[in-house]
């Protein structure tokens, strides 16, 4: 596979219908901006939410409120329509439902979507683009081949490679470049090492599950905090008591998938050690916030495995059936020089240093103080009124866009990318060209994320989310399990935990409030459950099949990962049940 082929790309899918629809949607946003509640309107209005607009029935209203989500699910899962088209149609159906059924003013509905879209562009798409830019520069410079070679020196045993690359490196990449990038990268890497195609993709999909609760530098928890107004550190600590516990079992599960129970017997202590290390470090670091949890836990698990291999080796080298043990043998004289390996790894090493330096020192507060922008969203801020039982009393719904421009993950990754471009030996013109090409290739994934955040904000401000949330409150005793599966469903539909949190964050909080349960517990459980849907998210299945250059195998991949995903979701729900009732 050529270097060009390995760069993360989105297959072209534009057609005249989509272009026409996009033009109509843009014109609609421009025209509605001047309407009451629009971003450019001078007319002051006040709009009161209604939680049961259909025959005063909460349950009937819930069915209708769920239609936009069902539209996306059917288009993605049944008709296999591309994610960017499905979510755009979902956005249109959400706006129509909010305006026609919930009687939300047209300008107000489109304005709330605009705010959600800006939240998607910055910081989410900005972070994704910066992270993928670094990877694409490594590919273009040839240094990614060195990274692959250096990982291959550790062991020929496929079980060890599964732990080191499949679990360790995937969890690290998820912390640096989420939103499907780790799945594409690891699938290609394992395929290059000689893993069977479906096995390579299955390992990549499942390994990307548990770390996605943190995403890129805690982005999913940041989004959850922004849509729920809950303390980000408290949310991080809550999720840290759930998802990392399951992560302790994931490395062993991956080895069983690759080598079977018989093959796993010869290596299970190492697999358990890797998982337990990830869990312990994840639990501890989550108490300080979400930003370094994924990176710290991933690095700790990798270091643990490397340390074990210094003193212990499996008795027998396990290879796939038909492989020759002599294949891939590398003599000491053929190994790459140490300085060459360090240079190839330098972007990731530098990224760890930059993130650690900013987040663990007073530099973060200083940069935030000089770069934070705060906008009370015109036409939307405190225009929508919440009512009991959603609020204790009638109160205005705030709409504030606030971002520390120099501290958000995307800015730190972009700054690292600039320095890395020189270390990698790329000329400024080449780096800029790669960045522009990265933006071009990320247009459709970016459009998907923007549409999903637009849907989330319309559902929140129109009260559709609250309608569904009040119904979920009826689950009572089983609420922890229900909210776990709700998170999984959200990630399955939206493709990322961040988008799932945007869709269902307020829903979980409202449900918990109705049941007298801690909102932090509910929201934390939601984001942990969202991680369980990562492997079965349709857009991730498409990414994996694309990395294998075998479109059409998404159904086979889904059958391989669905059972495991459902099992771990149920286990997480039971952990949440125990957490709520026993501790």
Answer whether 239's CB lies under 8 Å from 291's CB: no
pLDDT tens, the chain, 583 aa long: 334 334 444 444 445 666 777 788 889 999 999 999 999 999 989 999 999 999 999 999 999 999 988 888 788 767 777 777 888 899 999 999 999 999 999 999 999 999 999 988 887 788 778 878 888 899 899 998 898 788 767 888 999 999 999 999 889 888 876 666 788 778 877 887 789 999 999 999 999 988 889 887 788 998 899 888 899 999 999 999 998 888 899 999 999 999 999 999 999 999 999 999 999 999 999 998 898 898 899 999 999 999 999 999 898 889 888 776 554 444 444 678 989 999 998 998 898 788 778 877 899 899 999 999 999 999 999 999 999 887 778 999 999 999 999 988 789 889 999 999 999 999 999 999 999 998 988 887 778 778 888 998 999 899 998 898 888 877 888 899 999 988 988 887 667 898 788 878 888 888 888 888 999 999 999 999 999 999 888 668 777 877 777 765 777 788 899 889 999 999 999 999 999 887 6
Contact residues for 89 (Cβ-Cβ < 8 A; gap 6+): 71, 72, 75, 81
In this structure, what token pair is assigned to residue 98?
Answer: 């909010």
Q: Given this model, what pLDDT does residue 16 score? A: 65
Q: How many domains does the chain have?
A: 1
Residues for the chain: how many in total? 583
In this structure, what token pair is assigned to residue 260?
Answer: 């079977």
Say what the alpha-carbon torsion angle 298, 303, 306, 312 is, to the nearest 10 degrees. Answer: -110
- CA 358 to chain centroid, in Å, comes to 22
In this structure, what token pair is assigned to residue 399?
Answer: 């709409």
Answer whether 271's CB lies under 8 Å from 264's CB: yes
In this structure, what token pair is assigned to residue 64?
Answer: 């209708």
Residue 82 main-chain phi, psi, to 5 deg:
-50, 150
Q: Given this model, what pLDDT does residue 494 score? A: 66
In a domain, 362, yes or no: yes
Q: Given this model, what pLDDT does residue 493 score? A: 67
- For 126, 368, 370, 416, 521, the CA distances from 405, given in Å and listed in that order, are 11, 7, 9, 15, 29
Q: From CA 294, how far away is CA 507, in angstroms rounded? A: 26
Helices (H) and strands (E) in the chain, counts: 29, 5
| DSSP SS3 for 95 | helix
Q: What are the strands, taking DSSP E only, across 69-175?
A: none
- Comparing CA positions, the residue from 269, 238, 237 lying closest to residue 255 is 269
Residue 10 main-chain phi, psi, to 5 deg:
-110, 125
DSSP string, 21-89: HHHHHHHHHHHHTTSTTSTT------EE--S-TTTT-HHHHHHHHTHHHHHHHIIIIIS---HHHHHHH
Q: From CA 364, how far away is CA 357, in angstroms rounded? A: 8
In a domain, 326, yes or no: no
- For 68, 207, 271, 533, the CA distances from 251, given in Å and listed in that order, are 36, 8, 5, 18
Q: From CA 249, how far away is CA 38, in angstroms rounded? A: 50
Answer whether 488's CB lies under 8 Å from 533's CB: yes
Q: Is the pTM of the predicted complex or chain greater than 0.85?
A: no
Answer whether 68's CB lies under 8 Å from 459's CB: yes
- For 78, 213, 356, the CA distances from 468, given in Å and listed in that order, are 23, 23, 40
Q: From CA 267, how far away is CA 264, in angstroms rounded? A: 5
In a domain, 422, yes or no: yes
Q: From CA 302, how far away is CA 290, in angstroms rounded? A: 20
In a domain, 289, yes or no: yes
What is the number of other CB atoms lying within 10 angstroms of the CB of residue 265? 11
In a domain, 323, yes or no: no
Q: From CA 535, how far away is CA 543, in angstroms rounded? A: 11
| DSSP SS3 for 134 | helix
Using CB atoms within 10 A of its CB, is residue 266 exposed (0-12), middle (13-18) or buried (19+)?
middle
Residue 403 main-chain phi, psi, to 5 deg:
-140, 130
Please give the helix or strand (H or E) that residue 529 lies within, else none. Answer: helix 519-531
Please give the helix or strand (H or E) that residue 311 lies within, else none. Answer: helix 293-311
Region of residue 355 (phi > 0: left; psi between -120 and 50: alpha; otherwise: beta): alpha
| DSSP SS3 for 152 | helix
Q: If you compute the radius of gyration of the chain from its CA atoms, what whole number of angstroms results?
A: 23
In a domain, 5, yes or no: no
Q: Given this model, what pLDDT does residue 172 score? A: 87
Using CB atoms within 10 A of its CB, is residue 391 exposed (0-12), middle (13-18) or buried (19+)?
middle
In a domain, 540, yes or no: yes
In a domain, 573, yes or no: yes
Answer whether 162's CB lies under 8 Å from 253's CB: no
Domain residue limits at 239? 17-318+336-582
Q: From CA 256, how far away is CA 443, in angstroms rounded? A: 37
- DSSP state for residue 337 in the 8-state scheme: P
Answer whether 228's CB lies under 8 Å from 523's CB: yes
- Comparing CA positions, the residue from 154, 147, 149, 161 lying closest to residue 195 is 161
Strand 372-376 with 400-404, pairing: antiparallel
Residues 334-356, buried b or exposed e (16+ Cβ, 10 A)? eeeeeeebebbbbbbebbbeebe
């Amino acid at each position: 596979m050529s270097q060009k082929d390995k760069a993360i790309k989105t297959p072209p899918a534009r057609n005249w219908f989509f272009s026409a629809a996009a033009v109509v949607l843009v014109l609609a946003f421009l025209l509605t901006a001047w309407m009451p509640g629009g971003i450019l309107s001078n007319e002051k209005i006040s709009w009161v939410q209604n939680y049961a607009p259909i025959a005063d029935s909460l349950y009937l209203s819930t069915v209708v409120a769920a239609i936009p989500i069902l539209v996306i699910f059917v288009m993605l899962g049944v008709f296999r329509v591309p994610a960017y088209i499905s979510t755009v149609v979902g956005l249109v159906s959400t706006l129509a439902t909010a305006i026609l059924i919930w009687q939300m003013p047209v300008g107000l509905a489109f304005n709330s979507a605009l705010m959600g879209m800006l939240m998607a562009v910055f910081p989410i798409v900005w972070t994704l683009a910066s992270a993928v830019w670094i990877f694409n520069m490594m590919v273009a410079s040839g240094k990614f081949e060195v990274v692959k070679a250096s990982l291959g020196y550790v062991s020929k045993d496929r079980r060890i490679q599964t732990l080191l690359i499949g679990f360790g490196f995937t969890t690290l990449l998820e912390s640096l470049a989420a939103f499907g990038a780790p799945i594409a990268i690891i699938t290609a890497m394992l395929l290059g090492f000689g893993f069977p195609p479906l096995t390579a993709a299955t390992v990549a999909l499942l390994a990307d599950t548990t770390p996605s609760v943190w995403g890129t530098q805690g982005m999913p928890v940041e989004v959850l905090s922004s849509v729920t107004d809950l303390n980000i550190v408290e949310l991080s600590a809550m999720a840290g008591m759930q998802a990392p516990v399951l992560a302790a079992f994931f490395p062993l599960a991956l080895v069983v998938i690759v080598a079977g129970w018989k093959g796993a017997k010869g290596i299970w202590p190492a697999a358990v050690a890797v998982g337990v290390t990830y869990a312990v470090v994840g639990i501890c670091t989550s108490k300080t916030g979400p930003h370094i949890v994924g990176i710290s836990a991933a690095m700790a698990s990798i270091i643990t495995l490397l340390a074990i291999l210094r003193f212990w080796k499996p008795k027998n080298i396990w290879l796939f059936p038909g492989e020759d043990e002599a294949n891939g043998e590398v003599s000491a004289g053929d190994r790459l020089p140490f300085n060459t390996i360090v240079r190839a790894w330098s972007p990731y090493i530098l990224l760890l240093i930059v993130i650690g330096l900013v987040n663990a020192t007073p530099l973060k507060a200083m940069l935030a103080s000089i770069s934070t922008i705060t906008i009370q969203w015109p036409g939307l801020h405190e225009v929508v009124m919440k009512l009991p039982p959603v609020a204790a009393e009638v109160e205005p719904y705030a709409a504030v866009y606030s971002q520390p421009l120099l501290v958000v993950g995307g800015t730190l990754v972009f700054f690292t990318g600039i320095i890395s471009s020189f270390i990698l030996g790329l000329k400024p013109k080449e780096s800029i060209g790669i960045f522009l090409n990265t933006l071009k290739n990320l247009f459709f994934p970016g459009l998907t994320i923007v549409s999903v955040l637009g849907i989330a904000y319309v559902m929140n401000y129109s009260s559709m989310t609250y309608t569904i949330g009040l119904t979920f409150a009826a689950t009572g005793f089983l609420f922890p399990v229900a909210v776990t599966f709700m998170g999984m469903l959200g990630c399955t539909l939206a493709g990322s935990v961040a988008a799932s949190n945007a869709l269902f964050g307020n829903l979980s909080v409202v449900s918990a409030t109705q049941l007298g349960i801690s909102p932090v517990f509910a929201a934390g459980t939601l984001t942990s459950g969202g991680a369980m849907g990562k492997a079965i998210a349709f857009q991730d299945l498409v990414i994996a099949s694309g990395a294998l250059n075998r479109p059409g195998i998404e159904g086979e991949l889904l059958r391989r990962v669905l059972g495991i995903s459902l099992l771990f979701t149920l286990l997480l729900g039971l952990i949440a049940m125990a957490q709520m009732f026993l501790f």
